Structure formats: structure tokens, C-alpha cells
Amino acid sequence: EAGVTQSPTHLIKTRGQQATLRCSPISGHTSVYWYQQALGLGLQFLLWYDEGEERNRGNFPPRFSGRQFPNYSSELNVNALELEDSALYLCASSPSWTGTYGYTFGSGTRLTVV
């Protein structure tokens, strides 16, 4: 069974540009979560999607947005990139928003803003 896949693995953008990160969940998983992991720090919750709806949002500015497609894959968009947006962005999936059994994470997208 394929795990959570994220693309691209690395992304270099210039300050002010937009970045789009993609995530494919494990087959059968309807919930997708996005976390930001700045260098040397823990994971900060960004967004949670289930069945195409945004269920919860972390304490991030509106220029962080996303969506979930009918096939449950998801996209994270970061507009007006700032240097401090440089981080590892992790996507995770779980079977359902009612589950409490932890997530399966992808390997992440390393975003570097220069």
C-alpha cells in the first residue's frame, strides 16, 4: 500500500512569490492535515481537510490556504512568500475525521524562500 506522497520534495521560491505544495493521502483516507516544521522546531498545525471541507485551521495568516479535491488529495498554497516561511511542510492523512488514532505522515516538502 502506498503511503502519503508529497510533491515536490524540494521547492525554492523568491520572497513575494507563491508556492503550491501537493499531497496524496493513503487510499481510503478522507482526512488530510498540513503541518509546518521550521528548522529545529516542533510541528505547527496549519490546516485540516475532510471530505472536501476545511475542518480546522491553525494560527497562521490567510496567505496560507488550501483545498481538498474529490479524490481526497490536497493542495497547500502559500501566497506572498516571506523568508520565515522556509520550513518543512508535512502532510498527513487518516481514515476519518472521527478517528483518534494518529496520522500517517508523508516525507514532506522542503520549502526554501530566498
Contact between 106 and other proteins (CB under 8 A)?
Answer: yes
Work out whether 64 is an interface residue with other proteins (CB under 8 A).
no
- Looking only at residues 17 through 46 of this chain, which bind other proteins when binding is defined by CB under 8 A? 31, 33, 35, 41-45
Q: Does 66 bind other proteins (CB under 8 A)?
A: no
Distance of closest approach, residue 16 Cβ to other proteins, in angstroms: 28
DSSP β-ladder status, 19-24 and 74-78: antiparallel
Specify the stretch interacting with other proteins by CB under 8 A; choose among 12-20, 48-56, 60-68, 74-82. 48-56
Q: What is the DSSP string of the chain?
A: ----EEE-SEEEE-TT--EEEEEEPPTT--EEEEEEE-TTS-EEEEEEEETTEEEEE-S--TTEEEEE-TTS-EEEEE-S--GGG-EEEEEEEES-TT--S--EE---EEEEE-
Choosing from 8, 16, 28, 99, the residue that interacts with other proteins (CB under 8 A) is: 99
Residue 37 or 79 with smaller CB distance to other proteins: 37
113 near other proteins (CB under 8 A): no
